[in-house]
Amino acid sequence: MHLQELSEISGVSGQEERVREYIKEKVSSVASEFWTDALGNLLVLRKGKKNSKKLLLAAHMDEVGMMVTRINDDGTLSVMPVGGLRPLVVLGKHVRVGNEVVGVVGTRPIHLQRDQKKKVEWSDLQVDCGFTSKEEAKKHVKVGTYVSFITRFLEGNTYFSGKAFDDRGGCSVLLDVLERIEKPMYDTVFAFVVQEETGLRGSTVVAEQVKPDVAIVVETTTAGDVPELEDYHWATHLGDGPAITFMHRGYVVDPRIFERLIALAKREKVPFQYKMRTAGGTDAARFARSLYGLPSGVVSIPCRYIHSPVSVMHRDDYLHTVELVEKIVETGEVIP
């Protein structure tokens, strides 16, 4: 399992280099061939027993974060989100600005707020790195610098917590499968893609290079079992196994692939659940609009509090996702 190392690496959309280098080091001994394309996607080929068809597995390397948009006179930094991130979840959090500078996301203390019910906007926030002036800040930071969360990965008996589980969880699953699988049924490309969080950008480039018969996206998805949300609103539940998607924003999963995923999980006795809400999107939507309309499926690890500085994942959900994805590669049965 590579989840801890992957989680603690900074890799906001457009700055996935450190994540890619970590993965590249791990796959070098198990790949038939691997390469990085012009956009930054890392593609890893494993030769199969048959080369009559081709399977693509995809997980995205990037995480949500922020970017410096202004250096203020008092030395604080104004920021805006990169990807789907709300200002409310970043208040008071430690962040890394670039590679070296550490700061805290601050706003006016609650004691000094006249309207405590006011909605927090990005314009209300500043990153405080301890600089006392614009001139001092400019020596260390420039506009356009990425800002990522500083979150320590923690592992208990049942749960993991950390940042960027969306989608370092999927990346870790693909690495585990690469290391475990002896021989795929078909030639299989494991794609670690960039810039999913800012518009599903990397996946189109991957599809055009690989031209597979079927793609399976391995993701992390929202869990519904969180405070103040009734169970009939839950998308998934921690501990019930990987979630298999039938529809999400921008894409209705090809019924042939959906049914084959379900049948495979049942036959192999891998616990699974359906993703019961259709909010959110994945690279499968982009694959469906690429080339010839690449048929795709989605298998996800349920996770609480994604797109925030700290997420929570159930150990068994992760392990069962690895098990299911391994069976997908081993049998090749998702290809109609």
State pLDDT tens for residues 64-104. 999 999 999 999 999 999 999 999 999 999 999 999 999 99
Q: Is 5 a catalytic residue?
A: no
Select which of 16, 63, 196, 326 is catalytic. 196
Tokens in use for 247?
């529809």
Contact criterion met (CB below 8 Å) for 162 and 310: yes
Cross-strand pairs, 167: none
Q: What are phi and psi of 327, to 5 degrees?
A: -65, -35
| β-strand pairing of 42-46 with 296-303 | unpaired
- Contacts of 129-134 with CB under 8 Å at 24 or more apart are 129/75, 129/76, 129/77, 129/97, 129/101, 129/102, 129/103, 130/75, 130/103, 131/75, 131/76, 132/74, 132/75, 133/73, 133/74, 133/75, 134/71, 134/72, 134/73, 134/74, 134/75
How high is the pLDDT of residue 264? Answer: 97
What is the tens place of the pLDDT at every residue in 145-154? 999 999 999 9
Mean pLDDT value of segment 127-136: 96
Residue 236: alpha-carbon gap to chain centroid: 17
Q: Is the pLDDT of residue 214 over 90?
A: yes
How high is the pLDDT of residue 222? Answer: 84
Measure the CA–CA gap between 84 and 125, rounded to whole angstroms: 17
Measure the CA–CA gap between 236 and 221, rounded to whole angstroms: 8
Tokens in use for 110?
């609650």
Q: Looking at the chain, how many residues does it have?
A: 336
User: How is domain 3-63+163-331 classified at the CATH fold level?
Assistant: Aminopeptidase (3.40.630)
How high is the pLDDT of residue 217? Answer: 94
| Sheet arrangement for strand 296-303 | 33-36, 42-46, 186-193, 50-60, 214-222, 296-303, 243-244, 273-274
- Burial of residue 144 (CB within 10 Å: 0-12, 13-18, 19+) is exposed
| CA neighbours closer than 13 Å in the CB half-sphere of residue 215 | 33
Q: Which residues of 176-187 are buried (b: 16+ CB within 10 A; e: fewer)?
A: bbbeebeebbbb
How high is the pLDDT of residue 231? Answer: 65
Place of tokens 């592992």: 155
Mean pLDDT value of segment 228-235: 63
Measure the CA–CA gap between 313 and 158, rounded to whole angstroms: 9
- Confidence band, pLDDT 50/70/90 cuts, at residue 115: low
Mean pLDDT value of segment 136-152: 96
- Whole-model pTM: value is 0.92
Measure the CA–CA gap between 115 and 129, rounded to whole angstroms: 27
How high is the pLDDT of residue 107? Answer: 75
How high is the pLDDT of residue 114? Answer: 60
What stretch(es) of the chain map to CATH 3.40.630.10?
3-63+163-331
What stretch(es) of the chain map to CATH 2.40.30.40?
65-149
Please give the CATH superfamily to which domain 65-149 belongs: Peptidase M42, domain 2 (2.40.30.40)
What is the tens place of the pLDDT at every residue in 17-37? 999 999 999 999 898 899 999
CB atoms within 10 A of CB 274: 14
